[in-house]
Amino acid sequence: MLQVENLSKTYGAFRALRDVSFSAQAGEVFGLLGPNGAGKTTLLRVLATLLRPDSGTATLAGHDVLRESETVRGLIGVVNGGMGLYDRLSGREILRYFAGLYGMTRAQADARIEALNASLDLESTLATRAAGFSTGMKQKIVIARAVIHDPPVLILDEAASGLDVLARRALLDFVLAYRAAGRLVIYSTHVMSEVEEVCDRAAVLDRGELIAQGTVQGLLAETGQTSLERAFFALLQARALQDHALQDQALGRAPGGAA
């Protein structure tokens, strides 16, 4: 479903991505982990056709994200923290509007809205104007908007941020159901418990490079840790120690910094 090969992206002298490669398949939730500044959002923006990489390729369902960007945009749904809503429109009006942008008829849009209502528990959100939304209501509509056209790939970038426990539970259940229907979900988050619950596999980025990938159990076994949070820190620490050793070698120092 998704194939990423040697993606690199720089901003001036800063290398946000360095030869990142991985694949993700239909019917799975693929986690994307890393500290702030690791390159996660840059990678997701490339996959969403919002940024052009300096080198490398990414294909989604066989379509190149650069050469076939218009086709790719019809195959994805994107949720991130920076997406606004039209305050004067109700939840239902927002969803109908975006359904129309995807070429759906009013009948198709309403049928899809009812299906999303059943899975996301939209209810009063559909009749309320966006100006009166709580954080949870807003995020539900943002997610519903992203999947109104039933895309085979859903990209979630910190989608649970700011949600209360009930809204967060609804989101995670929706992610699992979306995967079960044979679609791919790319799930980027800082919350390791969410990854442990919903992700089939995960990749760890640090300073633009992919330093580990595998199942949650595989990452635990690789690091000898009992929780994903501990495994995550162990991977970052191992990477830092490796970098220090390389710096010492380049400067002709013994390990530990001795001359």
Query: Please, what are the domains in the chain?
Result: 2-214 (3.40.50.300)
pLDDT of res. 257 = 55
Per-residue pLDDT for the chain (259 aa), expressed as one digit of tens each?
A: 899 999 999 998 899 999 999 999 999 999 999 998 899 999 999 999 999 999 999 999 999 999 999 999 999 999 986 668 899 999 999 999 999 999 999 999 999 999 999 888 888 899 999 999 888 888 889 999 999 999 999 999 988 877 788 888 888 999 999 998 889 999 998 889 999 999 999 999 999 999 999 999 999 999 999 999 999 999 999 888 876 666 656 666 655 555 4
For residue 85, the one-letter residue type is: L
Adjacent-strand bridge partners of 67:
none
Scanning the structure block, which residue is given the tokens 């929706």?
A: 174
Tokens of 147: 């999947």
Q: What is the pLDDT of residue 254?
A: 57
DSSP for the chain reads: -EEEEEEEEEETTEEEEEEEEEEE-TT-EEEEE--TTSSHHHHHHHHTTSS--SEEEEEETTEETTTTHHHHHTTEEEE-TT----TTSBHHHHHHHHHHHTT--HHHHHHHHHHHHHHH--THHHHSBGGG--HHHHHHHHHHHHTTT--SEEEEESTTTT--HHHHHHHHHHHHHHHHTT-EEEEE-S-HHHHHHH-SEEEEEETTEEEEEE-HHHHHHHHT-SSHHHHHHHHHHHHHHHHHHHHHHHTTPPTTS--
pLDDT at position 80 is: 82
Name the nearest CA neighbour of 81 among 172, 187, 161. Answer: 161
Q: What is the predicted pLDDT for the residue at 247? A: 65
pLDDT at position 216, please? 93
Model pLDDT, residue 81: 67
The predicted pLDDT at position 152 comes to 95
pLDDT for position 176: 93
CA 11 to chain centre: 21
